[in-house]
């Protein structure tokens, strides 16, 4: 079912590091992600059965690009200042949609989909909050990209240590 998890996950890494310099940016990008993914899921659900497979890919690209552009413009009109730091990463949502489609994400059970989106959001918000707090606390490195990578690494290490200490989980 999942053909290319590394691609899907590495695409999530870009916003995870780039758009989490503050928690508001992280929250904003995650909301945009949820809006686009939901609308895209509904749209593709209606289209998929009516299209031959090669046309499906084209339709998916068209739909993802349209939704992402519209949501981006809406976000800009709503608050440009808040949109500016995440603008670069918002464009990647379209690519993410196409990759998720290819991976069969939209055919997986609803619970799995919700869980992935929630995990992505929790990680984005957690990392954003952590980096903003550390940055305000004087640790300037936390707000830079290398600092983001280091923090993410530490979080993953902590998660693994925790998972190992509770093997019943």
Binding residues (CB under 8 A) for other proteins: these are: 47, 49-52, 55, 58-59, 62-63, 65-66, 69-70, 73-74, 76-77, 79-81
Q: Using alpha carbons, select from 98, 71, 94, 65 the residue that is nearest to residue 83.
A: 71
What's the distance, CA 66 to chain centroid? 18
42-63 burial, b if ≥16 CB within 10 A, otherwise e? ebbeeeeeeeeeeebeebbeeb
16 vs 72, beta carbon nearer other proteins: 72
12 vs 63, beta carbon nearer other proteins: 63
Minimum distance, C-beta of residue 101 to other proteins, in the bound complex (Å): 14
65 vs 95, beta carbon nearer other proteins: 65
Task: Give just the sign of the alpha carbon dihedral 151, 155, 158, 160.
Answer: negative
50 vs 164, beta carbon nearer other proteins: 50
> What is the number of other CB atoms lying within 10 angstroms of the CB of residue 74?
12
85 vs 126, beta carbon nearer other proteins: 85
Instruction: Please tell me the distance from the alpha carbon of residue 114 to that of residue 121, in angstroms, as a whole number.
Output: 10
Minimum distance, C-beta of residue 50 to other proteins, in the bound complex (Å): 6
Minimum distance, C-beta of residue 98 to other proteins, in the bound complex (Å): 14
Q: Which residues contact 151 (CB under 8 A, 6 or more apart)?
A: 127, 130, 131, 134, 142
Minimum distance, C-beta of residue 69 to other proteins, in the bound complex (Å): 5
Minimum distance, C-beta of residue 47 to other proteins, in the bound complex (Å): 7
């Amino acid at each position: 079912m999942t053909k290319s998890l590394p691609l899907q996950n590495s695409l999530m890494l870009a916003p995870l590091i780039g758009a989490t310099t503050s928690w508001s940016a992280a929250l904003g990008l995650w909301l945009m992600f949820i809006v686009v993914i939901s609308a895209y899921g509904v749209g593709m659900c209606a289209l998929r059965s009516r299209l031959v497979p090669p046309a499906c890919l084209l339709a998916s690209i068209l739909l993802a690009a349209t939704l992402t552009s519209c949501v981006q413009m809406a976000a800009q009109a709503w608050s440009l200042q808040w949109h500016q730091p995440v603008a670069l990463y918002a464009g990647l949502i379209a690519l993410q949609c196409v990759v998720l489609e290819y991976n069969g994400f939209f055919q997986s059970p609803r619970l799995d989909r919700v869980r992935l989106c929630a995990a992505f959001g929790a990680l984005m918000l957690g990392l954003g909050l952590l980096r903003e707090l550390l940055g305000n606390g004087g640790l300037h490195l936390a707000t830079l990209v290398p600092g983001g990578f280091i923090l993410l690494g530490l979080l993953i290490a902590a998660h693994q240590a925790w998972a190992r200490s509770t093997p019943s989980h």
